Amino acid sequence: MNDSRRLSIWRWTWIVIFAFTIGSCTLALITSCSHLTVAPKPVEAHAIALGETNKPDADIIDGDASGLHVRKIWVDQYFRLEAKFKEQNWPGDDKIAAEKSEKFLALGSQFTVPYKCSDHFADMKRRERLAEAGP
């Protein structure tokens, strides 16, 4: 075998070994990180108003980045408390929106409420409880 052919075989051998090593390292890196996922940004927790039974309010259905999803009873209580404390036209009131849900199948039985309104509702509920408790 001549020297140029022997040099060519060694060169290809090293290329194959190098490619195999790089491929193995890449595969090991990919499989070692396969359990990692991109998690959504957590939604900031807000105060949950307690209902009359001192349990978390059952009229709150869910919450996401757009706000709380609540039932009509929650919205009615919210506006009743605003009237009681004479705080109509709160800045977030105009963003309370009725939505149609597959669960209730009717427009106006479920609403999306901004978190600021939820915080305002919790504050009004707290003031109502303090007023009921007396001095």
* Residue 87 sits in the same domain as residue 23: no
Rounded-to-integer distance, Cα 66 and Cα 9, Å: 65
> What separation in angstroms does the CA of 83 have from each of 62, 99, 123?
26, 24, 14
* Residue 118 sits in the same domain as residue 79: yes
* Residue 28 sits in the same domain as residue 91: no
Residue 81 covered by a domain: yes
* Residue 33 sits in the same domain as residue 93: no
Mean pLDDT, rounded, for 55-82: 80
Number of domains in the chain: 2
Mean pLDDT, rounded, for 50-63: 62
Amino acid 37: pLDDT: 66
CA-nearest of 29, 34, 71, 28 to 49 is 71
β-bridge partners, 112: 69, 97
Amino acid 107: pLDDT: 57
Amino acid 65: pLDDT: 82
- Residue range of the domain that includes 21: 1-37
* Residue 119 sits in the same domain as residue 65: yes
Amino acid 16: pLDDT: 85
Residue 47 covered by a domain: no
Q: Express each pLDDT in 7-54 by its tens digit.
A: 678 788 888 888 889 888 887 777 776 666 666 665 555 555 445 554
pLDDT higher than threshold 60 for residue 105:
no
* Residue 33 sits in the same domain as residue 72: no
Per DSSP, the three-state class of 20 is helix
**With contact defined as beta carbons under 8 Å apart, do 75 and 113 qualify?**
yes
Amino acid 116: pLDDT: 86
> What DSSP string describes 93-118?
GGG-EEE--TTT-STTSEEEE-HHHH
